[in-house]
Amino acid sequence: MTRDPAVRRLDDWGAPELRDLANEYGTPLYVLDLDRVARNFERVQAAFPNAAVHYAAKANAGRAVLSRLATEGAGVECASAGEVERALEAGFAGEDVLYTAVNPPAADLDTVVALARDRPELTITAGARDTVDRLAERGYDGRLCLRVHPGTGAGHGESVATGGDASFGVPAADVPALLEDASDRGFDVVGVHAHTGSGLSNEDRESHLAVVETLASVAERTTVDLEFVDVGGGFGVPYRPEEPPLDLDPIAEATREALAHLDVDLVVEPGRYLVADAGVLLTTVNTVKPAGEQGTFAGVDAGMTTLLRPALYDAFHHVRSLEPDTADREETAVTVVGPVCESTDVLAEGRRLPEPDRGDRLAIGNAGAYGIEMANQYTSRPRPAVVALEHGEDRIVRRRETTEDITAMEEP
C-alpha cells in the first residue's frame, strides 16, 4: 500500500481539474476532497492506534464531511447543540458524540439534555462547576466529562491558544474534588479533557505534552474511576509551502507514555488536521490594478466573507494561478483583495504570481478547515457553494446561496 503523503500541498491538486470545476460550478467555490478527509482520518488512527478519534466538527460541519467520517468510524466532538443535531442527522450515534459545553447557552443545554435522554451514551463535557449545576437543574445525571484548564496553551496565534485561557475549563487543582462531587451527586463521571490550542506545530510539542501531563496528574489524583482522558485536538498543518508537516508520531508516543500507568482510554479531537488540506477555494480575478511599489492588486470574487482567516488571524493561505498559459507573463508581487470595503479584506499579500489578468482562476490552499464554516453574509454577499470530490466523482454538497436566502428570515 502506498503511504499517503503527510500533507497535500496546493501544487498537488491538478490545475485543469480545478479549472473545470470553476467553469462548471462558478466561483467562489469550495472544493472538498472527501477521500482525502478519510485518508487523514486513517493517518490519525495510525498514529494513535488505540485512541478514539473524535472529529472536531467546528472545522467543517458540512453534512457530507460528517457523514463520510461517521461511515469511516470516527466519533465527533461538538461545540454547540446545533453541531450535535447535525452530527446525529449525518449518521453519528449517541455514543460517538462528545458535546463540549463552552459557556453553553440555556437553549443548548436544553436541547442536548433532551437528546441525551434517548441516547444515554452521549457524553457532555462541562468546563465550570456552574455548568455541572445547570446540567443537574435539568435533571441530567448522565455521562459527564470535565474540562481542565491546564494553565498553558499553544497554537498558531494568541486567539487560539485556548489552554492558556482561564475562561475554558476548571483549574487543574480544583478538578479532582469537582469530579468526586459530581460523582457523589449521581453523575456518571467518565473523563477529563483539555485542549492545548489550535494549529500546533512541531515546536509546540513540549507545550502540548505539558497539558497531557497535567491531565495525567489530575486522573491520578481523583478517586473516581475514569473511562477516558481526552487530550483535545489542535494538530496543525503547514500553510506555507516551505513549512514542514507536523510529525504526529512523537506526539502520539509521548502521549501514550504519559498515560501508560493509568487504566484509561485515550481520546483525541482533531479538526483542522482532517479537513484543511482536503479543501481548496477557487476564485476569479475581476479587477486588476497597479499597486505601485507593491506590484499589482488582483481583486477577486472571494474575500473576508468567504474565507475569514486572513482578516481575522492574519493567517497565511498559499495562492496559485490555475491558468495554463502563464509562461509568457512576468512574475510579479500580487496582493489578492476581496470585494468588501475594509482594509482587512486581503486574502494574500505580495505573492510571487504571474501578472494577473481579468478572468484568471486562482486556487487558495488549505481551505477545508474553518473556511466555509466561518463564511458569512456581511455586505449581503451570499455564501459560496461547496463541491465534494468522492470516489472519482464531483457533486454539489452545498448550493450557492442567493439574495433570497439572505432575506428569507426578514419581515417587513
Tell me the closest approach of the beta carbon of residue 146 to ligand LLP, in angstroms: 13
Tell me the closest approach of the beta carbon of residue 286 to ligand LLP, in angstroms: 26
Binding mask 9-48 for ligand LLP (x = CB under 6 A): ----------------------------------------
Residue from 278, 195, 262, 261 nearest 228 by CA: 262
Which residue is closest to ligand LLP by CB? 271
Burial of 83 (0-12, 13-18, 19+ CB in 10 A): buried
- Separation CA 262–CA 221 (nearest Å): 11
Counting other chains too, the contacts that 245-248 makes at CB distance below 8 Å and 24 or more residues apart are 245/6, 245/7, 246/6, 246/200, 246/201, 246/202, 246/273, 247/202, 248/43, 248/44, 248/47, 248/48
Report whether 370 belongs to an annotated binding site.
yes
Helix (H, G, I), strand (E, B) or coil at 79: coil
Report the site for ligand LLP in 197-216 (rule: CB under 6 A): 198-199
Catalytic residue among 166, 260, 327, 341: 341
- Separation CA 176–CA 189 (nearest Å): 11
Report whether 271 belongs to an annotated binding site.
yes
Report the site for ligand LLP in 181-200 (rule: CB under 6 A): 195, 198-199
Burial of 139 (0-12, 13-18, 19+ CB in 10 A): exposed
- Separation CA 244–CA 312 (nearest Å): 24
Helix (H, G, I), strand (E, B) or coil at 393: strand
* Options 127, 163, 234, 368; binder of ligand LLP; rule CB under 6 A: 234
Q: Which range of residues in 227-235, 334-342, 358-366, 395-403 is near ligand LLP by CB under 6 A?
A: 227-235
Count the site residues for ligand LLP by CB under 6 A.
22
Report the site for ligand LLP in 345-374 (rule: CB under 6 A): 370
232 forms part of the interface with ligand LLP (CB under 6 A)? yes
C-alpha cell read off for 83: 453541531
Q: What percent of the chain is helix, strand and coil (3-state, nearest 5)?
A: 35, 25, 40
272 forms part of the interface with ligand LLP (CB under 6 A)? yes
149 forms part of the interface with ligand LLP (CB under 6 A)? no
Give me the count of residues in the chain. 412
Radius of gyration of the chain (CA): 22
Q: Which range of residues in 138-146, 233-241, 359-367, 401-409 is near ligand LLP by CB under 6 A?
A: 233-241
61 forms part of the interface with ligand LLP (CB under 6 A)? no
Q: CA geometry: angle at 95 spanning 117 and 189, to 5°?
A: 75
Quick check: is 341 catalytic?
yes
271 forms part of the interface with ligand LLP (CB under 6 A)? yes
77 forms part of the interface with ligand LLP (CB under 6 A)? yes
375 forms part of the interface with ligand LLP (CB under 6 A)? no
Tell me the closest approach of the beta carbon of residue 394 to ligand LLP, in angstroms: 25
* Options 25, 235, 239, 297; binder of ligand LLP; rule CB under 6 A: 235
Of residues 15 and 374, the one with the C-beta less far from ligand LLP: 374
The alpha carbon torsion through 169, 170, 173, 175 (nearest 10 deg) reads -110
C-alpha cell read off for 285: 480575478
Tell me the closest approach of the beta carbon of residue 301 to ligand LLP, in angstroms: 21
- Contact 230/195 with Cβ under 8 angstroms? no
Report whether 330 belongs to an annotated binding site.
no
- Contact 66/86 with Cβ under 8 angstroms? yes
- Contact 41/55 with Cβ under 8 angstroms? yes
* Options 104, 191, 270, 365; binder of ligand LLP; rule CB under 6 A: 270
- Separation CA 140–CA 132 (nearest Å): 9
Of residues 121 and 314, the one with the C-beta less far from ligand LLP: 314
309 forms part of the interface with ligand LLP (CB under 6 A)? yes
C-alpha cell read off for 121: 451514551
Of residues 34 and 59, the one with the C-beta less far from ligand LLP: 59
Q: Which residues bind ligand LLP (CB under 6 A)?
A: 56, 58-59, 77, 100, 160, 162, 195, 198-199, 232-235, 269-273, 309, 313, 370
Q: Give binding residues as ranges.
A: 234, 269-272, 309, 313, 342, 370
Q: Give binding residues for substrate as ranges.
A: 272, 309, 313, 342, 370
Q: Give binding residues for pyridoxal 5'-phosphate as ranges.
A: 234, 269-272, 370
Supply the residues annotated as catalytic: 341
